[in-house]
Amino acid sequence: MPKIRNLDRWGALAWMVFAVFIASQAWALGLGTRSAPGPGMVFWGSAIILFFLSCLVLLRKPDPHLAEEMSSPIPWGKVISVLAALGLYIAFFEIAGFLVSTGLLMVVLLYLAGATSRVRILTVALGGTFCIYLLFHVWLKIRLPGGILSILP
Amino acid sequence: MTEAMAGLLQGFVIALQPHNLFYCFVGVAMGTLVGVLPGLGPSVTIAMLLPVTFGLEPVSAIIMLSGICYGAMYGGSTTSILLKIPGEASSVLTCLDGYQMARKGRAGPALGISAFGSFIAGTFSVAGLTVVAPVLGDFALRFGPPEYFSLMIMAMTVVVYLSRKSMIKSLMMALAGLILGCVGMDPMTAEPRFTFGRMELGEGLGLVPVVVGLFGLSEVLRNLGSGSKLEVIPAKIKALFPNREDWKRSAGPIGRGTLLGFFLGILPGVGTIVPQFLSYALERRLSKRSEFFGSGEIEGVAGPEACNNAAMGGTFIPLFSLGIPSNAMTAMLLGALMVYGLRPGPTLINDSPDLFWGVIASMYVGNALLLVLNLPLIPFWASLIRVPYVYLSSFIVIFCLIGTYCLNNSVVDMYIAVLFGLIGLLMSKFGYEPAPLVLAFVLGPMIETALRRSLVLGDGNFTLFFERPLSAVFLAAAVLFLVLPLFKRRVSEGLGAED
């Protein structure tokens, strides 16, 4: 129960910080008047209500629904690895091109998701990348970055 | 009425053109596929496929995208019956009796009655849509900004009220969605707001990266390493056609589920999940064998399955005639309509009759296609469930990212999708639901514009919202939905004290 309470509190605190940030920025944008509302009015109003609701969550009994969330822990190590891989993929997507970057990302994702056979990982990654390329680029005529392979004839 | 019939006939001329028929088929097949596969919902699929439809005519694109919506309702039941895992949230209750029927060797009749019930309910609700949407659209022409503002607030509070988790948290999500939805140029002064100097954010955060992140990527991140093996009900599924006894027992539940689903689906914000629960509860209450519910009663499959399909048709009514989505799925469809420069609402039928009637006619065709497609292909769909999630998840990630990139050829959208993937994961960990956020995100700019116009109209007087009867009714309903849980708690606390 204390764990759930902490989880609930941390969540509420995060939303409080978000609400304070939005309210202060909205104030700077200008609230306008009642007959001529300014660009910050809706942001400010929403942030104020969000702040009070966060206070309520902070003060009330812990959310019973969190118990089920606690029972299925998230593998944070894998999540961070996947997020890092996705960040790198996006950073090099236009430079390396679709085929190279997607092929590599598929290999990493399959490995992180728990695939063990190297041959299967490589087959699925390369085959899958090529099929997606055919679907989007060749069949649907959607422009995908060629990257380093675009120098090829 | 004659106008509607003439419109519908014109719609059939459009829907039956070979290319539209093809896109209808692609839509319902994709819908069934994502309904079958757990972890990939119709909202994400629409988001992923939206860029793909850019080369198409708007009618063909919307025919395909709506096919995904109602196709997913059919597909969701397959995993519920064979795996006890709902492919879709709206098939949750089919798990209870459907899976038990399958364990008793009656997977065929369960899948069959589910498909027939879905067809009957789906066709009825499209017929209702044909009649009701134009009438409601005409009526909504009288709405001014105050009525629209109040109606959208009511829709949001209904979604918050019906949330499965904490209501306060759902309300917080709706407010966060409102804030995020209003990011970008001010609609009246064109002043940039929360864009942090990025040109890409001038038009606001894209709906596609937000939905793809919250529903698609976050689900994959959540299931990383779960590696659970699914226990699929046996290989051969025989006798898909329910027998006479099955029909006799299912006719009533299908009829009641259809009516209940359709009328609840019309209400803005209700969506498809709650009607299904009510249908199950109703069938259980009416059944003479209520004690056997949960152990393989066909009424427990027929009623909820008909109900969720009828509700899906019902949700198209506020979408097309008022421009108000009822759930994340229809919010995504609303976003798609806007991408095509169309404005859903009372003027849609007059401004784009070909689109409106073409899409409605395609739904009749699509429902028939689904029946033909589903019955013989059930073993095929069942075999797809055996694809290990390890492989499936990698493809979902790539499709999500490429779909997001194709929208504007922008890697910034991909970063936003990944960011919202992480946010979605944290939200689920902290017990916050994404659906109210997405709905408010879509409605946000409309709510802001309606509110500001109303205030200008009323010279800053908030009483304007209460002086106009319709607006007052909508706001009163909104307040009721917010206050009702407090009374319910008081009553249950009082009863607890008495006990």
User: How far does the CA of residue B307 sit from the closest CA of chain A (Å)?
Assistant: 27
Task: Check whether residue A11 and residue A51 sit in a common domain.
Answer: yes
ipTM for the complex shown: 0.92
Residue-wise pLDDT tens digits, A101-113: 999 999 999 998 8
Q: Report the number of distinct structural domains present in chain A.
A: 2
Task: Check whether residue A96 and residue A137 sit in a common domain.
Answer: yes
pLDDT for B254 = 93
Task: Inspect the interface and report whether the beta carbons of B221 and A79 lie closer than 8 Å.
Answer: yes
Task: Inspect the interface and report whether the beta carbons of B429 and A41 lie closer than 8 Å.
Answer: no
User: How far does the CA of residue B36 sit from the closest CA of chain A (Å)?
Assistant: 21
Helix (H, G, I), strand (E, B) or coil at B17: coil
Task: Inspect the interface and report whether the beta carbons of A63 and B393 lie closer than 8 Å.
Answer: no
Q: Which residues of B touch A11 (CB under 8 A)?
A: 430-432
Q: Which residues of A touch B172 (CB under 8 A)?
A: 15, 50, 53-54, 57
C-beta of residue A96 within 8 angstroms of C-beta of residue A151: no
Q: Would you list the domain boundaries of chain B?
A: 2-498
Task: Inspect the interface and report whether the beta carbons of B402 and A136 lie closer than 8 Å.
Answer: yes
Task: Check whether residue A91 and residue A32 sit in a common domain.
Answer: no
Residue-wise pLDDT tens digits, A12-28: 999 999 999 999 999 99
Task: Check whether residue A62 and residue A129 sit in a common domain.
Answer: no
Residue B77 makes CB contacts below 8 A (sequence gap 6+) with B35, B87, B91, B94, B98, B111, B114, B115, B118, B301, B305
Q: Domain residues for A6?
A: 2-71
> Using CA atoms, how far apart are residues A110 and B391, in angstroms rounded to an integer?
7
Residue of B nearest to A101 (CA): B398
C-beta of residue A112 within 8 angstroms of C-beta of residue A89: no
> Using CA atoms, how far apart are residues B45 and B409, in angstroms rounded to an integer?
18
Burial of B57 (0-12, 13-18, 19+ CB in 10 A): middle
Task: Inspect the interface and report whether the beta carbons of B394 and A42 lie closer than 8 Å.
Answer: no
Task: Check whether residue A142 and residue A98 sit in a common domain.
Answer: yes
Task: Inspect the interface and report whether the beta carbons of A8 and B406 lie closer than 8 Å.
Answer: no
Residue of B nearest to A6 (CA): B430
Residue of A nearest to B393 (CA): A113
Cα dihedral B54, B59, B63, B66 sign: positive
User: Where among A41, A71, A101 does a domain terminate?
Assistant: A71
- The strand pairing partners of B109, in sequence order, are none
Task: Inspect the interface and report whether the beta carbons of B390 and A110 lie closer than 8 Å.
Answer: yes
Task: Inspect the interface and report whether the beta carbons of A124 and B462 lie closer than 8 Å.
Answer: no
**Distance linking the first and last C-alpha atoms of chain A:** 64
pLDDT for A51 = 96
Structural tokens at position B99: 């899976």
In angstroms, what CA-CA distances link A77 with A74, B104, B224? 9, 42, 10
Task: Inspect the interface and report whether the beta carbons of A124 and B391 lie closer than 8 Å.
Answer: yes
Q: Which residues of A touch B449 (CB under 8 A)?
A: none
> Using CA atoms, how far apart are residues B351 and B95, in angstroms rounded to an integer?
43
Count of CB contacts below 8 A, A vs B?
175
Residue of A nearest to B421 (CA): A83
Smallest Cβ–Cβ distance between B55 and the set A124, A141, A144 belongs to A141
Smallest Cβ–Cβ distance between A35 and the set B165, B171, B459 belongs to B459
pLDDT for B499 = 47
C-beta of residue B373 within 8 angstroms of C-beta of residue B32: yes
Location of structure tokens 């008081």 = B490
Task: Check whether residue A66 and residue A80 sit in a common domain.
Answer: no
Task: Inspect the interface and report whether the beta carbons of A37 and B452 lie closer than 8 Å.
Answer: yes
Query: pTM for the complete prediction?
Result: 0.82
Give the closest residue to B375 by CA, choosing from B124, B77, B50.
B77
Arithmetic mean of pLDDT, A82-103 = 93
pLDDT tens track, chain B, 499 positions = 677 788 889 999 999 999 999 999 999 988 888 877 766 677 778 877 777 777 788 899 999 988 988 888 787 788 778 777 666 667 777 888 888 888 888 888 888 888 899 899 989 999 998 888 888 878 887 888 899 899 889 888 888 887 767 888 989 999 999 999 999 998 888 889 998 888 888 888 888 888 888 888 888 888 775 555 555 555 566 677 788 888 999 999 999 999 988 988 888 777 777 788 888 888 888 888 878 888 888 998 999 989 988 988 888 888 888 888 887 788 888 888 888 888 788 888 888 888 889 999 999 999 898 888 777 777 777 777 677 778 888 888 888 888 888 878 889 999 999 999 999 999 988 888 888 898 889 888 889 999 999 999 888 888 889 989 989 999 999 999 888 877 766 666 665 555 4
Task: Inspect the interface and report whether the beta carbons of A43 and B193 lie closer than 8 Å.
Answer: yes
Q: Which residues of A touch B409 (CB under 8 A)?
A: 143
pLDDT for A42 = 93
DSSP class of residue B241 equals S
Residue B180 makes CB contacts below 8 A (sequence gap 6+) with B205, B210, B437, B441, B444
Structural tokens at position B354: 């070909």
Cα atoms in the Cβ-side hemisphere of radius 13 Å centred on B181: 25
User: Where among A40, A71, A102 does a domain terminate?
Assistant: A71
Residues making up chain B, counted from first to last: 499
Q: Which residues of A touch B51 (CB under 8 A)?
A: 142
Residue of A nearest to B431 (CA): A66
Task: Inspect the interface and report whether the beta carbons of B179 and A110 lie closer than 8 Å.
Answer: no
User: Where among A56, A71, A86 does a domain terminate?
Assistant: A71
Smallest Cβ–Cβ distance between B448 and the set A42, A110, A113 belongs to A42
pLDDT for A68 = 65
Task: Check whether residue A83 and residue A142 sit in a common domain.
Answer: yes
Task: Check whether residue A116 and residue A142 sit in a common domain.
Answer: yes
* pLDDT confidence tier of residue A71, bands split at 50, 70 and 90: low
Task: Inspect the interface and report whether the beta carbons of B451 and A46 lie closer than 8 Å.
Answer: no
